[in-house]
């Protein structure tokens, strides 16, 4: 029997929620005073269970098990969005702390230990997943404003904590789902199969500016009208082309000159598509390109497409997924496989080290808002399932 103290997990989460508390949520952006205070408190907790702790120059807090050769690494993040909830990121850290404590108590002197990491700036105040990118050696330059903020926050000049493939043999991140699927299915444990890839586009419309009162409708080359017609058509096209998991989102619209008495000359629509399956992403991209080609020239308006960025989908390790599934089954709560639509630090880690993620349900599917919550019994169950998986993993290393 693995003895993970559920009350201690909840107590850790409640204490962390006090740093940057804002109503029922938290405001703890990376490198804010509240963020650093939370990390320093967590550093004390990590030292108390015997980890060798460093807070590095980018704000990563890393606790290394002493006297071991190989470790299972557990991690997530304690920074938040400005209107954040109390569990986003902290859940995985509270689990890691109690599992590391339980492992050290159950197997003192064992050659395989548990390391714990609290990644900096997962939420992208400066750069999304900045801390995990630094940890994995992917950060070639610091984003604008970071160095000044780090100096103001009093971050020490400590060289960056780094992933060591000889030591860190597996990575686990537990997280709240931040969506409604587990709750809707009445399930308590989500087994994350992978993390959605994403592609971002700008669709541009070039028409002609004319007097909005004197130019007959039939003669207008109205970029705004065509943009809205195009945006409306996207839904049916993407629904047909994508997979059951595909999601898409229309973002910022810009109109020039944007005056109500001038026919719009130029218009731009930003949009994003996401899926786990690269073939589905290709199909969505193709559907978008086809719609652009068909729309081009309507109303005398030129339509062009530019890709603005992409992140490839990430598959999580099948062997580690099986350990999470076995842990959930052992505790009588069969895990529901589902992809993650949100980006997590595990996306960065999974490119370098076998990685797995576990989700617990979000009440009402809500997250990135102060109403974010998870039932205490689900929080505790998630800790036990993760402990099963981590212990089983450690036994194989």
Residues that bind Zn ion (CB under 5 A): 88-89
115 vs 372 by CB, closer to Zn ion: 372
Please state the closest distance from residue 144 (CB atom) to Zn ion, in A: 23
According to DSSP, residue 363 is labeled G
Please state the closest distance from residue 349 (CB atom) to Zn ion, in A: 14
Report helix, strand or coil for 104.
Answer: helix
89 vs 313 by CB, closer to Zn ion: 89
Report helix, strand or coil for 157.
Answer: coil
Closest CA to 79 of 31, 23, 126: 31
CA 89 to CA 101: how far, in whole Å? 19
Please state the closest distance from residue 367 (CB atom) to Zn ion, in A: 8
- For 71-82, b/e burial (b = at least 16 CB within 10 A) is bbbbbbbbbbbe
29 vs 89 by CB, closer to Zn ion: 89
CA 101 to CA 105: how far, in whole Å? 6
Q: H or E element: which one contains 99?
A: helix 90-106
80 vs 321 by CB, closer to Zn ion: 80
Q: Distances from the Cα of 211 to the Cαs of 107, 119, 219, 254, 268, in angstroms?
A: 79, 55, 11, 19, 21
Strand partners, 123: 128
Residue 103 contacts residue 4 (beta carbons within 8 Å): no
Please state the closest distance from residue 397 (CB atom) to Zn ion, in A: 27
CA 224 to CA 35: how far, in whole Å? 43
173 vs 222 by CB, closer to Zn ion: 173
Please state the closest distance from residue 211 (CB atom) to Zn ion, in A: 51
CA 304 to CA 230: how far, in whole Å? 12
Strand partners, 206: 266, 302
124 vs 143 by CB, closer to Zn ion: 124
77 vs 266 by CB, closer to Zn ion: 77
Please state the closest distance from residue 198 (CB atom) to Zn ion, in A: 16
Please state the closest distance from residue 191 (CB atom) to Zn ion, in A: 18
């Amino acid at each position: 029997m693995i003895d993970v103290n559920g009350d201690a997990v909840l107590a850790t989460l409640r204490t962390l929620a006090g740093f940057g508390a804002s109503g029922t949520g938290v405001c703890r952006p990376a490198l804010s005073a509240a963020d650093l205070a939370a990390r320093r408190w967590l550093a004390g907790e990590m030292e108390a269970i015997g980890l060798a702790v460093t807070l590095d120059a980018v704000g990563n807090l890393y606790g290394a098990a002493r006297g071991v050769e190989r470790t299972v690494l557990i991690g997530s993040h304690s920074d938040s969005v400005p209107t954040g909830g109390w569990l986003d990121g902290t859940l995985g850290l509270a689990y890691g702390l109690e599992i590391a404590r339980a492992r050290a108590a159950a197997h003192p002197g064992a050659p395989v230990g548990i390391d714990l990491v609290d990644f900096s700036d997962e939420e992208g105040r400066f750069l999304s997943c900045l801390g995990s990118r630094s940890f994995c050696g992917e950060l070639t330059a610091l984003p604008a404003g970071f160095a000044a903020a780090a100096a103001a926050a009093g971050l020490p000049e400590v060289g960056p904590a780094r992933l060591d493939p000889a030591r860190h043999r597996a990575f686990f991140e537990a997280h709240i789902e931040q969506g409604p699927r587990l709750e809707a299915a009445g399930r308590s444990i989500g087994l994350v199969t992978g993390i959605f890839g994403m592609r971002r586009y700008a669709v541009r419309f070039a028409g002609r500016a004319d007097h909005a009162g004197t130019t007959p409708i039939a003669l207008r080359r109205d970029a705004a009208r065509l943009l809205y017609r195009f945006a409306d058509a996207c839904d049916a096209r993407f629904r047909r082309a994508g997979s059951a998991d595909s999601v898409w989102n229309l973002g910022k619209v810009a109109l020039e000159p944007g005056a109500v008495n001038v026919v719009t000359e130029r218009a731009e629509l930003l949009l994003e598509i996401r899926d786990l399956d690269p073939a589905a992403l290709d199909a969505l991209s193709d559907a978008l390109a086809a719609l652009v080609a068909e729309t081009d020239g309507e109303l005398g308006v030129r339509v062009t497409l530019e890709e603005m960025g992409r992140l490839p989908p990430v598959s999580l390790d099948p062997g580690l997924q099986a350990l999470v599934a076995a842990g959930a089954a052992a505790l009588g709560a069969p895990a529901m496989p589902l992809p993650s639509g949100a980006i997590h630090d595990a996306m960065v880690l999974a490119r370098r080290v076998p990685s797995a993620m576990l989700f617990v349900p979000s009440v009402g599917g809500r997250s990135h808002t102060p109403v974010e919550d998870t039932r205490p019994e689900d929080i505790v169950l998630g800790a036990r399932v993760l402990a099963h998986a981590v212990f089983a993993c450690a036994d194989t290393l």
